Amino acid sequence: MPSVIAIAKCPALIFVRPRFDVYREISAAIHAQFKRYSDLVEGVALDEAYLDVTENKQNITYASTIARHIKTAIFQETQLTATAGVSIKKFLAKMASGQNKPNGLTVILPEDAIAFVEQLPIEKFHGVGEVTAAKMHSLGINTGADLKERTLSELTHHFGKAGHYYYKIARAEDDRPVEANRVRKSIGAETSFAQDLSDISQMLQELEQIAQIVEQRLEQHETRGRTLTLKVKFSDYQRLTRSKTMLAPIGELSTIFEIAKALFESIDLENRSIRLLGISLSNLDNAKQSQAIQLPLFQNGNIIF
C-alpha cells in the first residue's frame, strides 16, 4: 500500500526507521548456516537467498533434509523461523517458498512441476506484479495453464521482453544458475499504484517515500551510486526513464529525492496519470557487496529461504 494511502486511512500512523545494523548482524548469522552446506549461495534481499545443494558439504542426499537442518539451526541461533521452498529450478523453488508461510517447507518434485505451474493463479507467479496480473486477466490469462496456451509471439507482443520469461516459466523452464558471487549493478525501488495518480503533489509524496526506501537499501548494502535513474509508467502502460550521473557517489535521502524530483519535473505530463514510479542508483561504489536470505530445497537441487 502506498504510504500516502496508509496515512489517509490512519492519520496517526508512525513510520519507524529500520535498525539495519541489527538486520545485517542476523543476516550474517543466517548466511553462516547456509555456508555450512554449500558455497553456492546467491543473496537476493536482506532476508532471502538461493542455495544450490546439488553437491553439498555434508553429503546429504535430499535437499529437503538440508532445509530442515538449516531451519532448525536458524531458530536455535536467532529464535527466528524461516520458510523454505525446494525444487530443481530457481523459479519453482521461489514459488514453493511462498506456499506455506510462515515457518513452512514445501517441495515441488520434478514430476509435479508442470502440474503445479498450470494450477497456479497468475498473480502468484514470481515476476508478475499487480499491474501485469490485471493486464493478463484482461487477456483471459488467469492461471499458469492459460499462460501456457499463449504463443511466444503473443506474449512478447503484449509484454515485450518479459514475454520470453513468461513463456518459459509457464512450462516450468528456468535455466538460470545459482550465482554465488553475483555483483550487484544497481539498487532501487518502485511502487505500482492501486489507483493511477493524477495529482502532482501526491506523485511527489510517493517519490519521496520511494527515495527513502532506496536510501535504506543503500545502507543495507553499504554502498552509494553515481547514476540515478527515474522510471515512470503511465496509465496507458507507456514507460519512460530519465537519468543523471554525478561526479561523486550519493546515498542520502535529501540528495536522492532532490535529483529524482528535478528529473520528474523535467517530464511533460500532458495531464496524464501515472501508474508506477521508480528510482534506482547504478555505478555503485561498493564498500561491501553484502547479500541476504530466504530458502528453497530439493533432492540435488535448489533451495530458497
How do residues 225-282 score in pLDDT, each as one tens digit? Answer: 999 999 999 988 889 999 999 999 999 999 999 999 999 999 988 889 999 999 999 9
Q: What domains lie within the chain, and their CATH numbers? A: 20-110+291-304 (3.30.70.270), 120-169 (1.10.150.20), 186-286 (3.30.1490.100)
Which amino acids are annotated catalytic? 48
Pairing of strands 274-286, 302-304: unpaired
Which of 219, 244, 165, 251 has its CA nearest to residue 18? 219
For residues 217 and 23, what is the distance between their CA atoms, to the nearest angstrom? 12
Q: Is the pTM of this model over 0.75?
A: no
How do residues 48-90 score in pLDDT, each as one tens digit? Answer: 889 999 889 999 999 999 999 999 999 999 999 999 999 999 9
